[in-house]
Structure 1
Amino acid sequence: MPELIDPTTRLRTSFLAAVTEFRADRDYPVPWFVTNVDSQALTDATAFTAYVARVLSERDEAAVRADGFVAMTTLWWAEDGQMLGRLAIRHRLTPALERVGGHIGYDVRPSARRQGHATAMLAAALPIAGSLGIAQALLMCDEANTASQRVIEANGGRFIDMVGHKRRYWVPTS
């Protein structure tokens, strides 16, 4: 059964395969986290170890980059040594994240889509968000992304409004 785990170097091969899948997918834009991977980490094991350490350190507000980022807990959805998806819980919102971004963002690798992973991954993440002091998580998805709408609503999401082409929802964390 898949579970949320801390990013780990043990899943390097699967992570790199997922990055390749995301980049080749023509149905969806390349996720932010893929463009955020240090380029050397894609070819060098030592650089990948440093990348994983950076991602883990971003849970600490003092380690966050100054360019609009906030502390966030990144987790990987994995099973049997395979990285199936990735999820990030932002510990707080800035005015920009209130408009576009929200508390939780998630991505399922293309070969693992339409198998219920996003719904299960979000359900597993909500108590973690609650433990971070987030009573209600703000989630967003593109207006045309009906799959994400279903995922959010299946997890108790209550539609708030539209900001541009983004649907915004409050999702209880308990």
Structure 2
Amino acid sequence: MPELVVPTVRLHAAWLEARGDWGPGIHEDGFGLRPDDEVDSPAGFAAWVARLTEAAGRATSLSADRALCEYRWIVDGDRVLGGIALRHGLNEIVQQRGHIGYGIRPAARRQGLATWALGRMLDEARRLGLGGVLIICAVDNLASARTIERCGGVLEDIRETDLGTARRYWIMLA
């Protein structure tokens, strides 16, 4: 049975296995991984996990427009199946990337995990008092578009973002 867990160093090997499933250089949505994060060593991985868990508690000092963000990993036992993030507020980062971003490792796709995890994060957004969430996916990512639509997403438009051409959906939570 899958569950959402706060990022933890305990799952270092499992996370590396999941990253290997994606392949080198592929962006893993929902994990908050930056190009300068070094995650192969235990120390680097621990520093990255600390940054992720601190992001939920306070704004980062890197940029005034950074959103508070909660990261969760989608796990089943000791297997990391994906990641999902919920950004608070409505600033420039949220306008470009959405309130929620997620990714499922290739070997775990087509099992309903994205829909399940998105539903759980929508519940968290409701608890935070958000009236609606913006979710953005690449224009050619039809699987993600279907996931968002299954969870109530209504297409606002298709436009250029800092990550390329994207579909922009709103899910109202009230």
RMSD: 2.0
Q: Structure 1: which 5+ runs fail to align? A: none
Query: Residues 27-64 of structure 1: CA distance to partner in whole angstroms, max 9, x if unpaired?
Result: xx52363445721x312x23322221111000123445
Distance in 1, Cα, partners of 2:45 & 2:15: 10
| Structure 1 residue 150: Cα displacement | 0.5
User: How far 1:119 moved relative to its partner?
Assistant: 0.8
- After superposition, the C-alpha distances for 1:82-137 in whole angstroms (9 at most, x for unaligned) are 11110110011213532x21100001111111211111110111011122221211
Query: Which one of 63, 66, 72 corresponds to residue 66 of structure 1?
Result: 63
Alpha carbons of structure 1 residues 90 and 163: separation in structure 2 relative to 1, 3 Å: same
Structure 1 residue ranges (4+ consecutive) displaced by more than 6 angstroms after TM superposition:
none
Q: TM-score, with normalisation over the residues of structure 1?
A: 0.86
Q: CA deviation at 1:160?
A: 1.2
Which structure has greater helix proportion?
Answer: 1
Counterpart-to-counterpart distance in 2, 1:31 and 1:22: 7
Partner of 2:98: 102
Shift in alpha-carbon separation, 1:19–1:64, aligned structure 2, 3 A: farther
Gaps of at least 5 residues in structure 2 are: none
Q: Give the percent of matched residue pairs that are identical in Structure 1 and Structure 2.
A: 35
Q: Distance in 1 between matches of 2:33 and 2:9?
A: 16
- Work out the number of aligned pairs and report it: 168
> Which secondary structure does the structure 2 equivalent of 1:10 belong to?
helix
Normalization by structure 2: what TM-score?
0.86
